[in-house]
């Protein structure tokens, strides 16, 4: 398969099950929505070292938020069901509670599994907190110096997928980065997905384990490192001197497939030689996203 001169590798992206929550963050202005969301989703690129993966799903207009203020939807994911409550309460308590004018609402009200985020954060009120039920949903008002922090008592948790990905094989760094940026621009407005790495882009692709340091669960993917071409079993096509990866977490397989289609299509531009993907022979996870099938079928 060839798209505008770029070869699409006959391989698949291998992804794994996760659990996800969606938070709706609102504030007085878009500036404070962004400030809050960036702190909330900080240091959350990979479960390998960050214990969770998180990102801004999309910005919301006032007519899309519960309190008619500027807002955004944030997705936060963990690999284990029991890990998500801890990560959520830590981050809401440290970044949303502390942010001027910010409020926190549930973005998955129909999810049957519930996490008591506000029910835990309320204790910061030291007994001065108060609650109110509106439309069958409970909210807590926690007094703070600026006014009150409004937080929903519990938020929904759903099954999700982490680790959807594709690799951009390019002639040089400029071409790879321009293609990756174009891919992110095409993907970031799509619902149900986040690209958790810096700017959505990864330069340090990983393989499972380590050939030399047995304690590591992941190490550099030497097969696609251009500087190691002469000393390892390289998988790089001729002419490739830079590789960048885009990792996609999503609420379901359709959301990830749609994002991969949009991103790969945007990345097929001059200077890019091939689009491939990271798979681990089925050892990492049960969710497989075949590149050629996705690009032949188009978005769902």
Kindly report the average pLDDT of the chain as a whole number.
96
Q: Which pLDDT score is estimated for 73?
A: 98
Residue 281 has pLDDT above 90, yes or no: no
Q: What is the pLDDT of residue 266?
A: 98
Confidence of residue 121 (pLDDT cuts 50, 70, 90): very high
The pLDDT tens digits of the residues spanning 253-275 come to: 999 999 999 999 999 999 999 99
- Burial label for 281, CB within 10 Å (0-12, 13-18, 19+), is exposed
Q: What is the pLDDT of residue 279?
A: 87
Q: Which pair of structure tokens corresponds to residue 168? A: 């951009």
Residue bearing tokens 């284990």: 80
Entry pTM: 0.94
Bridge pairing between strands 218-220 and 242-250: unpaired
* Secondary structure of 106-172 in HEC code, one letter for each residue: ECCCCCCEEECHHHHHHHHHCCCCEEEEECCEEEEEEECCCCEEEEECCEEEEEEEEEEEEEEEECC
Residue 285 main-chain phi, psi, to 5 deg: -165, 165
The pLDDT of residue 200 is 97
Residue 282 confidence class, pLDDT cut points 50, 70, 90: confident
pLDDT digits (tens, 9 = 90+) for 180-193: 999 999 999 899 99
pLDDT at position 298 over 90: no
- The residue length of the chain stands at 300
CA gap 240, 225 in Å, rounded: 10
Q: Residues of CATH 3.30.70.520 domain(s) within the chain?
A: 2-14+160-297, 19-158
Q: What percent of the chain has pLDDT over 90?
A: 94
Indicate the helix (H) or strand (E) that contains 247: strand 242-250
Which of the four pLDDT bands, split at 50, 70 and 90, describes residue 21?
Answer: very high
Model confidence pLDDT, tens digit, residues 49-102? 999 999 999 999 999 999 999 999 999 999 999 999 999 999 999 999 999 999
What is the CATH number that goes with domain 19-158?
Answer: 3.30.70.520
CATH of domain 2-14+160-297: 3.30.70.520
């Amino acid at each position: 398969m060839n798209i505008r001169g770029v070869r699409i590798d006959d391989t698949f992206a291998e992804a794994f099950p996760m659990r996800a929550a969606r938070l709706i963050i609102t504030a007085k202005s878009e500036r404070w929505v962004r400030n809050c969301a960036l702190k909330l989703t900080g240091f959350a690129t990979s479960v390998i070292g960050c214990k969770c993966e998180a990102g801004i799903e999309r910005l919301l207009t006032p007519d899309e938020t519960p309190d008619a203020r500027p807002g955004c939807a944030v997705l936060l994911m963990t690999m284990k069901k029991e890990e998500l409550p801890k990560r959520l309460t830590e981050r809401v308590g440290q970044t949303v509670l502390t942010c001027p004018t910010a409020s926190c609402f549930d973005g998955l009200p129909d999810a049957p599994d519930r996490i008591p985020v506000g029910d835990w954060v309320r204790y910061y009120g030291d007994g001065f907190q108060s609650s109110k039920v509106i439309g069958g949903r409970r909210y807590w008002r926690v007094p703070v110096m600026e006014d009150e922090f409004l937080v929903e008592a519990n938020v929904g948790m759903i099954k999700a997928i982490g680790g959807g990905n594709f690799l951009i094989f390019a002639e040089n760094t400029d071409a790879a980065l321009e293609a990756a940026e174009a891919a992110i621009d095409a993907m970031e407005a799509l619902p149900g997905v986040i690209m958790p790495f810096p700017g959505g882009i990864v330069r340090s692709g990983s393989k499972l384990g380590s050939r030399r340091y047995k304690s590591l669960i992941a190490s550099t993917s030497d097969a696609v490192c251009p500087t190691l071409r002469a000393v390892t079993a390289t998988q790089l096509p001729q002419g490739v001197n830079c590789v960048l990866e885009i990792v996609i977490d999503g609420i379901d397989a359709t959301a990830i497939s749609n994002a991969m289609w949009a991103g790969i299509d945007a990345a097929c531009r001059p200077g890019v030689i091939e689009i491939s993907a990271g798979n681990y022979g089925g050892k990492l996870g049960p969710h497989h996203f075949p590149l050629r099938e996705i690009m032949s079928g188009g978005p769902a």
